[in-house]
């Protein structure tokens, strides 16, 4: 089972050292949108979509927060264009699994209108009928095409002690949603069994690789942003603590990655290239 690591859009906010831990205070930090494209027995499975073609044409639809974050949606970095570059067509994407529905994760949904979109029920409800305070975070244009939503509710299954729900049984791969609420109300991790163990895409449950290490580290601006942006900050912090414990106990079996850390993206691309070279 082959997994492609894509960055589907980027954000270049000012405050390099405060956000990325490197560079000057006014330099720009590099924030990637790490998505996965899994070649499965049931077509391509995308985990998150980053920004999409319409975001590139009309970045204003992302709202003022993404303007402040210096979002750079470009057509050539959309999942659609990158997959076309790899020889796939939009129709090859049969499933999209979303960690949550913030604009930097859901922008590509309209580019794959035939795909089933797998999401936790709590997140779908939060996005379609947002609380007053959550209204600015979701962009309704990303689901204006009426996606083929597939709701999931965790419970029944267990993954390393976390409540989970197995999805896509026809994919010939073990894929499970592992709810990690807090950043948004229905935020989830996505666990994928690989040849070597497990890959856990943690979405926005953390933003910097240092946050799942013990003791945790995080550039102060990034910590501030996460506290500010959380739909339920207590749950977010609690889940981050559980991820640290998991990494401490099972770090040898599970590869952790989040959406926005450029170091993790580089690490996984390096790992993929090394595996290809060894084939």
Residues 164 to 223 in contact with Zn ion, rule: CB under 5 A: 204
Closest CA to 29 of 60, 71, 62, 61: 71
CB of 214 to Zn ion, least distance (A): 24
CB nearer to Zn ion: give 55 or 204: 204
CB of 102 to Zn ion, least distance (A): 5
Residues 239 to 258 in contact with Zn ion, rule: CB under 5 A: none
CB nearer to Zn ion: give 53 or 230: 230
Q: What is the full DSSP assignment across 168-182?
A: -GGGSS-EEEEE--S
| Site membership for Zn ion, residue 48 (CB under 5 A) | no
| Site membership for Zn ion, residue 116 (CB under 5 A) | no
Q: Residue 227 burial (CB < 10 Å; 0-12/13-18/19+)?
A: exposed
CB nearer to Zn ion: give 94 or 100: 100
DSSP letter at 30 equals: P
CB of 240 to Zn ion, least distance (A): 15
CB of 204 to Zn ion, least distance (A): 4
CB nearer to Zn ion: give 135 or 249: 135
Q: What is the full DSSP assignment across 219-263?
A: -HHHHHHHHHH-SSHHHHHHHHHHHHHHHHHHTTTEEEE-SS-HH
CB of 100 to Zn ion, least distance (A): 8
Biggest CA–CA distance in the chain, Å, is: 52
Mark the segment that binds Zn ion (CB under 5 A) among 4-12, 104-112, 151-159, 271-279. 104-112
- Sheet of 43-47: strand order equals 71-72, 2-11, 31-40, 43-47, 93-97, 116-120, 148-152
Q: Which helix (H) or strand (E) holds 6?
A: strand 2-11
CB nearer to Zn ion: give 204 or 268: 204
Q: How many binding residues for Zn ion (CB under 5 A)?
A: 3
Can you say whether the dihedral through the CA atoms of 209, 266, 61, 221 is positive or negative?
A: positive
Residues pairing with 163 in the sheet: 158
CB of 169 to Zn ion, least distance (A): 28
How far apart CA 178 and CA 154 sit, in angstroms, is 7
CB of 183 to Zn ion, least distance (A): 8
| Site membership for Zn ion, residue 104 (CB under 5 A) | yes
CB of 201 to Zn ion, least distance (A): 12
Can you say whether the dihedral through the CA atoms of 233, 18, 245, 192 is positive or negative?
A: positive
How far apart CA 23 and CA 105 sit, in angstroms, is 26
CB nearer to Zn ion: give 101 or 254: 101
CB nearer to Zn ion: give 54 or 204: 204
CB nearer to Zn ion: give 66 or 88: 66
User: Which parts of this chain interact with Zn ion (CB under 5 A)?
Assistant: 104, 204, 259
């Amino acid at each position: 089972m082959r997994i492609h690591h894509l960055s589907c859009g980027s954000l270049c906010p000012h405050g390099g050292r405060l956000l990325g831990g490197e560079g000057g205070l006014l330099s720009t930090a590099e924030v990637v949108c790490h998505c996965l494209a899994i070649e499965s027995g049931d077509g391509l499975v995308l985990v998150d979509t980053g920004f999409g073609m319409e975001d590139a044409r009309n970045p204003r639809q992302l709202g003022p927060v993404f303007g402040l974050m210096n979002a750079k949606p470009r057509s050539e970095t959309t999942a659609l264009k990158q997959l076309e570059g790899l020889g796939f067509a939009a129709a090859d994407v049969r499933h999209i699994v979303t960690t949550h529905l913030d604009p930097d994760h859901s922008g590509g949904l309209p580019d794959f209108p035939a795909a089933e979109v797998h999401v936790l029920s709590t997140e779908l409800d939060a996005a379609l009928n947002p609380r007053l305070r959550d209204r600015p975070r979701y962009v309704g244009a990303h689901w204006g095409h009426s996606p083929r939503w597939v709701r999931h509710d965790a419970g029944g299954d267990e993954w390393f002690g976390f409540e989970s729900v197995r999805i896509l049984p026809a994919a010939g791969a073990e894929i499970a949603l592992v709810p990690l609420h807090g950043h948004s109300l229905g935020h989830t991790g996505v666990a994928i069994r690989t040849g070597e163990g497990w890959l856990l895409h943690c979405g926005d449950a953390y933003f910097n690789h240092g946050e799942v290490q013990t003791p945790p580290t995080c550039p102060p601006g990034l910590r501030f942003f996460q506290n500010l942006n959380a739909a339920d900050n207590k749950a977010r912090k609690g889940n981050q603590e559980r991820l640290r414990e998991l990494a401490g106990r099972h770090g040898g079996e599970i590869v952790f990655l989040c959406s926005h850390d450029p170091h993790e993206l580089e690490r996984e691309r390096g790992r993929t290239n090394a595996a290809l070279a060894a084939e």
